[in-house]
Structure 1
């Protein structure tokens, strides 16, 4: 099932032994694999003024009607997990400690976009925490591929021959927590239209320029199958979209 990231923010998060622990504050993703790597959960109403990172593999049977994400983790596990300082980067060391503590597999899940998202050349500091901050990560401190979806929302989308709009939202697949599509608002170029762009088309994400660069042209975007934000996305539509752009399918 495809879920809009904006809808997930604010969901209540519940421990396996009962009771709410907080709410989803942000989601961190890997810009190589386009997998969600962490949920940033604000537990300030339970543990004073604190945020924690929760791995998506800990989510079980989301309740979309009640807007609740139940976890496999207990309250004690969450309480004793490493805290997330708002003025510090999410470093590779911090992630390793969290994987060890929670028993999560860093290679959990399958990505259609390749890579394991845990290494690669360092490409400069990256903003990791959304608009109200989890910090800037220097090359030797943070994972250069870890990004905040709250921060990337609003980035300008650049086709090979010009801008097409901005990233308004993201659709994630709750089967493996990949970012499946970027929802692009094209109002300044193609008034009244929204289009879906797969991470297959992304060449680079620049936090300095606040832009996402694509390998497709504007006319290809303009002639893509129309997307109705109200309608459910089915496999028929996805096949048409991927055939139009020449993208591989997501298991179809």
Structure 2
């Protein structure tokens, strides 16, 4: 049997970030974990994915303050029903109402802050693609047609290098459940450097539940790429400084500004010896 691992957890620390960023002692860990689950369940129940377009919720704690960062493709849904009036006071009132509803979930009053982040490219977000596919299947759209539309949307998005979509269950009302998948482009699941996003969703149809899995391979913009880029820039800068600056100028700079001369000097790479032919001329032997 093939053993599979979640692509998101497999790449934590390399190209993915933790959704919950906080530290707690062993006595408070379970309590804070339940608070995070309450917040996520509330947002999922009150603002479904198909209506609000919520793709991710990030929680951070600093002392007693709980900060929520909600990524959504439709921020006006969370801002309230008065967004058409273009009144800033009405927009803020929508967030205030959401914050008050969240504070009622906790037995003790906890300082809470909300921040909305708009997803400018929903077609390149794996969670929104899975939610959209589930919505089409629930509307009784043929699964092959829905698969092609999802693949086409992902291909037109900027920065997407590959996509894979899989649907499992009683497809088209068949008596025997099966799985079908479509892939376009590259999806390197075994490469840790590759930034592969992964999301699952459930479509509730008349014939039962259909499981949806979406993999999305995008251009690397994560932790590994930033570290690699930073190291490469620093190495190029050091090499350029050594190649341009002559030895006399380095000595003069060390004498004039001894405090500023803290940049390590890289020694030139040793050159390989030239190849010597085995045949020796008569003049050389003589």
User: Is TM-score (shorter-chain normalized) higher than 0.5?
Assistant: no
Please, what TM-score do these two structures have when normalized by structure 1? 0.24
**Higher strand fraction: Structure 1 or Structure 2?**
1
* Higher alpha-carbon Rg: 2
